[in-house]
Chain A
């Protein structure tokens, strides 16, 4: 049998970074093929190579026995390979029918036949999804699940032989996921090949016939989930020895610094309650779209909660803007430092003192001496590799930029620190320095919330860990109660399934 997709020896380098090394992905027709791996394992890279968004550095791609040269979105679509992207790539001002038939419009002479287009769209939606949806509805008026369906219908209208679904369930509720699976099974029965990328291990186990596991840019195994079980697959994904990366700390836990009661942001998370103590590092983890990031946003005044209460030192607070949060001693180290964390056009020194100018000013004038002393001390302490405090931040490496963000918040003496993926895309050395810093802050009696999808980091650094799943806190663990593999199983919902079946 000819494989639907055969990618062999795929290597991709971005400058000095190797994203994929000799990776293989072979998908047979009539199967649902899972593609899994931890963050940065190379899942999106290999899919983007197949989609023609990235050019591969080396390797061969064969579709239905036909070897592909340079792939572009148009050439791969011509071979019947269609992609359902995670960010729903649809034109918001188009109608459902237009979105489905874009670039494949039924014509009547020199005109588009809207009547035929609408009728065919209705038929397809009914045939595959048993769904009655007015094809003239605007995309922007559809729900997330409906937009997903329109995307899949578009692929089917184009006679897709291979469907690649990138995190298709991320924004769907359980019922919608079940319905999607019904459709996927039907498409499989029709002989189509489906590549299914998901972080949700429970879903992988439920829907996939075969799974390719990626780790550090290579495939480390092709397994059948029904045979080996989820636990084994998770182990294959995370197989990394916990080295000496994580500095130790004797926690000194004080009184509650931040208390959250029944906090709800509609559509993101519901009824979240927890306490954060002085001197504590509290880990929060969840899958993409689980609501963890929204929770931090709500605590920092970037999102206004719909209901519930936030208390700082026992006093109820309502932050409507991040400025209010900062004034009250809450600091946030955002994930996307380029967009939110640093002003890359300013110097290292200016960035570090940006948040704390109040403390270094006297009668409206910045005290340059005090500023310089403070900045130099932090640069030395964090080991920021910079020629000096006058160097522009954009000339530093990513890891050093991240340290500048951390230094910026350190200098302003906050009480509660919200860290959103502070170690993403920084090298190992910089990671350790950030861990040391976190420990130092905690020992000074600060309260830290540490949000990360690197589960090893969470289990090693945190005194306590909360797991968010689809907007709810479903588990709480003390340090040492859980290891990274087990935590992944819980966060991805695999444990939920086991409980149900047990």
Chain B
């Protein structure tokens, strides 16, 4: 005899309409994404040319890698982005790492030392975030904001707010190299995406990171050392900032002030990415799509001759829209 067959099935009508609303939002996001691309394809000259498409992917590589860092922090500290953690220091961290790399190259230390130095700098900044958020229990918004200021301040001290130009063969390869017709920058995005999809979505580490972010107490009750995972998320985001900084310096042939301004697009990409997930949580695939979308948006505006100043405004509006829509879908 069936013991629990009469336990009520998935919550009846209310849950049904909730699932429907979620589905509508996800479909809507895809349709909007596709619609905007089609619009650009029809109105913006040269939008669909292979050269332009490749440029967008290259431009999106830097944004995408940093947004992956943000995605992992979101995953580990609160998949509900409104209540969970955040890493405001990510863009400034990348700027600091770029400065460390460029200055060390200028001083003649060579890639063998400069690259590890940049990566370690990024991880140390991530560690600072971990200390602030996990050990000192400062709310992430404030803790990482303070760390952001530290990173930005150090960057200014190192570069004295100037452009530090460098040029090396490795940077030439990163900026202009091609392999199988695909540029190095695009390869970086592809390889890192695949690695992270594996770790975050097909490895137990990722599953546990999401558990920690999804319900801290539940993860702890399951025997997960939650503090270690949150530290790990921040440090890994810092590591990604370090990796990205080398791409940034290569692309611009210099460390340039203003990398910190990437924070808004990073946030927009990581938040927008949640719309593409069934659970409305930040995912690597979703963030990748969102980063490309933001890249295409900026590119389309450019080709249409719309001032690039509008892009920041549109990104801000996207953040508002996504957060409002997903929290509506969750609570409804």
Contact = CB atoms under 8 A, between A and B. Distances in A.
Interface of A: 51, 72-74, 77, 83, 85, 87, 89-94, 98, 102-103, 105, 107, 110-112, 114, 129-131, 137-138, 141-143, 145-146, 149, 175-176, 179-180, 182-183, 186
Contact residues of A: prevailing secondary structure: mixed
Given A130-B2, A143-B11, A179-B3, 5 more contacts: A74-B223, A91-B215, A103-B208, A143-B10, A176-B7
Given A102-B222, A107-B204, A182 B19 contact: no
A91 B214 contact: yes
A92 B202 contact: no
Contacts of A183: 3-4
16 contacts: A51-B221, A73-B221, A90-B218, A91-B211, A92-B215, A93-B210, A102-B219, A103-B222, A103-B224, A105-B204, A110-B203, A111-B202, A114-B202, A138-B278, A145-B8, A179-B7
Contact of B7 (A72, A90, A137, A146): A146
A94 B224 CA distance: 15
B217 interface: yes
Given A103-B223, A111-B202, A91 B4 contact: no
Contact of B214 (A83, A92, A112): A92
B7 A143 contact: yes
Contacts of A98: 207, 211
Contacts of A93: 79, 210, 214, 279-281
Interface string B195-209: 000100011100110
A129 B204 CA distance: 27
A87 B210 CA distance: 20
A111 B10 contact: no
Interface in B36-75: none
B220 interface: yes
B307 interface: no
A73 B6 CA distance: 33
Nearest to B10: A141
B204 A141 contact: no
A175 B6 contact: yes
Contacts of A138: 278-279
B223 A77 contact: yes
Contacts of B261: none
B286 to A, nearest CB: 13
A261 B86 CA distance: 49
B23 interface: no
Given A93-B281, A112-B202, A145 B210 contact: no
Contacts of A146: 7-8, 10
Contacts of A83: 221
Identify which of B5, B11, B19, B221 gathers the most chain A CB atoms within 10 Å of its CB: B221
A142 B217 contact: no
A130 B10 contact: no
A142 B203 contact: no
A141 B15 contact: yes
Contacts of A87: 217
Identify which of A102, A105, A112, A130 gathers the most chain B CB atoms within 10 Å of its CB: A102
B4 A142 contact: no
Contact residues of B: prevailing secondary structure: loop
Contacts of A130: 1-5
A74 B226 CA distance: 12
Contacts of A105: 204, 207
Interface residues of B, number: 38
B218 A89 contact: yes
Nearest to A98: B207
Contacts of B211: 91, 94, 98, 102
Identify which of A77, A94, A138, A183 gathers the most chain B CB atoms within 10 Å of its CB: A94
Interface in B172-220: 198, 202-204, 207-208, 210-211, 214-215, 217-220
A105 B201 CA distance: 13
A85 B218 CA distance: 10
B4 A112 contact: no
A137 B10 contact: yes
Contacts of B217: 87, 89
A111 B222 CA distance: 21
A178 to B, nearest CB: 9
Contacts of A129: 3-4, 7
Given A89-B221, A90-B215, A91-B218, A112 B204 contact: yes
Contact of B215 (A74, A77, A89): A89
A217 B234 CA distance: 43
Contacts of B15: 141
A142 B278 CA distance: 15
B220 A73 contact: yes
B307 to A, nearest CB: 39
Contact of B10 (A74, A102, A142, A179): A142
Contacts of B221: 51, 73, 83, 85, 89
Contact of B11 (A94, A114, A142): A142
A145 B3 CA distance: 13
A107 to B, nearest CB: 7
Contacts of A77: 223
A87 B211 CA distance: 16
B203 A94 contact: no
5 closest cross-chain pairs (CB), A and B: A91-B214, A74-B223, A89-B218, A130-B2, A129-B4
B1 to A, nearest CB: 8
Identify which of A72, A74, A103, A111 gathers the most chain B CB atoms within 10 Å of its CB: A103
A176 to B, nearest CB: 6
Contact of A143 (B8, B218, B281): B8
A102 B211 CA distance: 8
Contacts of B198: 110-111
A145 B10 CA distance: 10
A142 B215 CA distance: 16
A470 to B, nearest CB: 16
B111 to A, nearest CB: 30
A91 B8 contact: no
Nearest to B18: A141
A93 B81 CA distance: 13
Contacts of A89: 215, 217-218, 221-222
A142 B208 CA distance: 21
Contacts of A92: 214-215
A114 B7 CA distance: 26
A110 B198 CA distance: 9
Contact of B223 (A73, A85, A90, A107): A73
A83 B79 CA distance: 25
A211 B204 CA distance: 40
B137 to A, nearest CB: 18
A141 B203 CA distance: 24
A490 to B, nearest CB: 28
A105 B211 CA distance: 13
A132 to B, nearest CB: 8
B326 to A, nearest CB: 12
Contacts of A137: 10
A186 B79 CA distance: 37
B6 A179 contact: yes
Contact of B207 (A72, A74, A112, A142): A112
